Structure formats: C-alpha cells, structure tokens
C-alpha cells in the first residue's frame, strides 16, 4: 500500500483473522463476509464507549441500522490471513453517519476492500430515527476524516 493509499489518522484499527468457514470454493473470502467484517469492526469501534455496542443495543436501545452500503473489492483474503480494518467516519449528520472501512492484508499491507456504510441512529423501541446522542457524536468526531468518500448525501 502506498503512502497515498494508506488510511490517515485518526482511524480506529481492528484486526480480524479469516476463518476456515468464511472462504468459498475458490479458496478466497466469500464477498458477503466483508460486510460481516465491517460490522465486527463497528462493534469494536463502539467498544470505546462505556458499555460498548452491547450497552447501546441492550441498555440504551440505540441501534445504527444500515441504510446504504457500497463495497469495492481490490484483492482477495484467504484462510489464515489477517484483515486490518481502518474505521473512520466520512460524514456525520443529525441522525445519520457514514462509516468508511479501509481493509488491508496485515502480512503485506495490500489493499483488499473499501466499504462505505451509511447508518441511521435509531430508537430500537419505537424503530424511529433519533438525533445522534452526544457521546456517540463525540466518538464519531474523533475519527472524522471528512474528505473520505461518502456513499450518498444524507441528513
């Protein structure tokens, strides 16, 4: 990965090893698994808050369901590889945000995939959108890279 391609600070970095059951007949990670990796990274990202992602869901009844996802695949991951995932906030709105996941292979730094993931902050009791709570907004702002590509404009 060149310096121009390298994710910029203040990315949150999460690493995840590819499991045997995640590869397909071509012996590469099945494409849909990349969204699972992004979600794993998002869960760890919110681990920076008291109670983590579990606390958001179970205690506060706040969810961040996806409303739009885009993914560009660049290189394969194989069983045993470690995906290094740089998580940034590309955009923060009133009730929505765009996460950007820049994935690479740990062993050689090769760029693997780029995912843009738009979420809407929601009250899980009423299933309605709500403004981003202050602690979540502060966390997102710490990892904001505003010139990162964004999937779509959103409120």
Identify whether 23 is part of a domain: yes
Identify whether 130 is part of a domain: yes
What integer pLDDT is reported at residue 4 of this predicted model?
Answer: 43
The whole domain housing 24 covers: 12-142
Contact 89, 132 (CB under 8 A): no
Identify whether 21 is part of a domain: yes
**R_g over Cα of the chain:** 16
Identify whether 155 is part of a domain: no
Cis ω on the peptide bond leading into residue 87 (within 30° of 0)? no
- CB-based burial, 55-82: b 16+ in 10 Å, e otherwise: ebbeeeebbbeeeeeebeeeebbeeebe
Q: How many Å apart are CA 6 and CA 20, to the nearest integer?
A: 28
Which segments of 26-113 does DSSP mark as H helices, in order? 33-45, 52-54
Q: What are phi and psi of 97, to 5 degrees?
A: -150, 160
Identify whether 138 is part of a domain: yes
Domain count, the chain: 1
Identify whether 83 is part of a domain: yes
- Short-list 79, 71, 83, CA closest to 28: 79
What integer pLDDT is reported at residue 147 of this predicted model?
Answer: 67
Could you list the pLDDT tens digit for every one of the 155 residues in the chain?
A: 434 444 446 899 999 999 999 999 999 999 999 999 999 999 999 999 999 999 999 999 999 999 999 999 999 999 999 999 999 999 999 999 999 999 999 999 999 999 999 999 999 999 999 999 999 999 999 999 986 444 444 44
**Side-chain half-sphere of 21: how many Cα atoms within 13 Å?**
0
What integer pLDDT is reported at residue 80 of this predicted model?
Answer: 96
Identify whether 93 is part of a domain: yes
Identify whether 152 is part of a domain: no
Q: How many Å apart are CA 133 and CA 119, to the nearest integer?
A: 14
Domain of 109, CATH number, reads 3.10.129.10
Contact 37, 16 (CB under 8 A): yes
């Amino acid at each position: 990965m060149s310096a121009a391609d390298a994710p910029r600070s203040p990315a949150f970095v999460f690493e995840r090893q590819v499991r045997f059951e995640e590869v397909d007949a071509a012996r590469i990670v099945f494409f849909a698994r990349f969204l699972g990796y992004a979600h794993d990274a998002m869960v760890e990202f919110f681990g920076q808050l008291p109670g983590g992602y579990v606390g958001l869901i179970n205690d506060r009844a706040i969810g961040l369901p996806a409303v739009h996802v885009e993914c560009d695949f660049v290189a394969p991951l194989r069983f045993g590889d470690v995906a290094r995932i740089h998580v940034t906030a590309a955009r923060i709105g009133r009730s929505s945000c765009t996460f950007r996941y820049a994935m690479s292979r740990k062993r050689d730094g090769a760029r693997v995939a780029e995912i843009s993931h738009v979420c809407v902050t929601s009250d899980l009791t009423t299933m309605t959108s709500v403004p981003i709570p202050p602690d979540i907004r502060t966390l997102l702002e710490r990892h904001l890279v505003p010139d990162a590509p964004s999937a779509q404009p959103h409120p």
